[in-house]
Amino acid sequence: MAIVGAGVIGAMSAWRLARRGVKVTLFDRYAPAHDRGATGGESRVFRVACKEGAKHVPLVRESLALWRELEGEANQRLLYQTGVATIGTPSMPGMRAIRETATQFDLRLDVLERDAALARFPQFRLASGEIMLFDPEGGALRSDLAVLSAVERAVACGATLRSYTSVDAVEPFDDHVALKIGGATETFSHVVMAPGGWASFEPALAALPLVTRRIALGWFAPRVPAEFGIDHSIVLMHLFESGYFYMFPCMDGATVKASCNIGGWPALDAPHALPRSLPADELAHLRRTAAEVAPGLRADPVRIGIYMDAYTPDGEGLLGALPGDEKTSRMFVATGFSGHGFKFSPAIGEAVARLVVEGEAGGQVAHLDVARFQDARTPQRRAGTR
């Protein structure tokens, strides 16, 4: 079978399928961990008490064990459980969602008033009336290394990686799926479509309600790097009425990654339209917010990265057989995770493997069923956290 897309979802699916003995060919138009899609930028958040809602918690818990399993197989540290702190006023929907999720699943969550938060984490600032919610199980994932590790483990289990290979078209038939590649046709028993940020531009997925959005990240140099080091700092999110700011510890020993999403990420008309720089107004907002939240950072980002991901109307991913007839039942979709799927991507890869091998993905991913959009359309939700 084939997997189209070697981002984190495709990589995890290949790893879990290959471990089951399935013969997998993994295609990517560039190479795993490249800087144009949804998984570049060195780090991603790992949250257990999720502001996106309680449906994610079982997937995150399953993924924690799988992250550790991948670390053991790859002999590579991928997850740093530094803790994740969220700052905001108690009445904000995101703050309430975190507390409700922690209560529902009996998760540890430290609720710190302003003075206690400043004493515990002096690197950061809280305004009057704000509190901090600290999830000690959360942390930072090495996203580039995670994708590379999953692909390498899949190859070690018998998968084939075909990097810098564009799949130009996908066409299902009664007994196979045909892939058009460089003027030639190759056939496979089944195909998993995991194109990430390219999903809304794939003709085979045109019937699905996907929008590709660009996401901007900036790297700031701390004045005292040790204050923000991976062994001394945390992942921080600051919620505002119109969006959020978030930042990571120094993953490279020199810079802190940060992002500021105000009002949602803009849509892209085509993948080649992905800009390589940040508009002046967004850059000014990022600089200003970083200075307010973490005054120990130097004023200007030393690097800007622009990435893209596919979003669905309700902000949840798509997982299942492509709707249609018997032919399309040979095509599976695993995409559209709307900027917050990285943390539970191993559980999604495992669900894809169950779907392909056993015919059922499992109840923990029922809310991701592709069929939920066949009869209704729901409003677009603000993008998730990277």
Domain 81-140+213-310 class?
A: alpha beta
Q: What is the pLDDT of residue 271?
A: 87
Q: How many residues does the chain have?
A: 386
The proportion of the chain whose per-residue pLDDT surpasses 70, expressed as a percent, equals 97
Contact (CB, 8 A) for 123 and 248: no
Q: What is the pLDDT of residue 380?
A: 37
d(CA 178, CA 161): 18
Q: What is the pTM of this model?
A: 0.94
CB-count burial class (<10 Å; 0-12, 13-18, 19+) for 223: exposed
d(CA 356, CA 334): 12
- Identify any residues that bridge with 332 across adjacent strands, giving them in sequence order: 192, 321
- Domain extent listing, the chain: 2-48+143-211+313-373, 81-140+213-310
Summarize pLDDT for 180-203 with one digit per residue, the tens.
999 999 999 999 999 999 999 999
Tell whether the model's pLDDT for residue 6 goes beyond 70: yes
Is domain 2-48+143-211+313-373 in CATH 3.50.50.60, yes or no? yes
d(CA 212, CA 349): 22
Tell whether the model's pLDDT for residue 320 goes beyond 50: yes
Q: What is the pLDDT of residue 318?
A: 97
Tell whether the model's pLDDT for residue 386 goes beyond 50: no
**β pairing state of 160-162 and 25-27:** parallel
DSSP H helices, 75-112, are 93-104
Q: What is the pLDDT of residue 379?
A: 36
Q: What is the pLDDT of residue 375?
A: 56
pLDDT band at 374 (very low <50, low <70, confident <90, very high): confident
d(CA 291, CA 29): 38
Q: SS3 of 290, please?
A: helix
pLDDT band at 263 (very low <50, low <70, confident <90, very high): confident
Q: What is the pLDDT of residue 326?
A: 84
Q: Going along the chain, which residue ranges are E strands?
A: 2-4, 25-27, 43-46, 79-80, 84-88, 110-112, 131-135, 139-142, 160-162, 169-172, 177-181, 184-188, 191-193, 211-220, 235-240, 243-247, 256-262, 303-311, 318-321, 331-335
| Percent helix, percent strand, percent coil in the chain, to nearest 5 | 30, 25, 40
d(CA 306, CA 276): 6
Q: What is the pLDDT of residue 325?
A: 83
**In one letter, which amino acid is 204?**
A
Summarize pLDDT for 57-75 with one digit per residue, the tens.
999 999 999 999 999 999 9
d(CA 372, CA 363): 15
Average pLDDT, rounded, for the chain: 93
pLDDT band at 376 (very low <50, low <70, confident <90, very high): very low
338's tokens: 């709307």
- Identify any residues that bridge with 169 across adjacent strands, giving them in sequence order: 180
Tell whether the model's pLDDT for residue 297 goes beyond 50: yes
Tell whether the model's pLDDT for residue 378 goes beyond 80: no
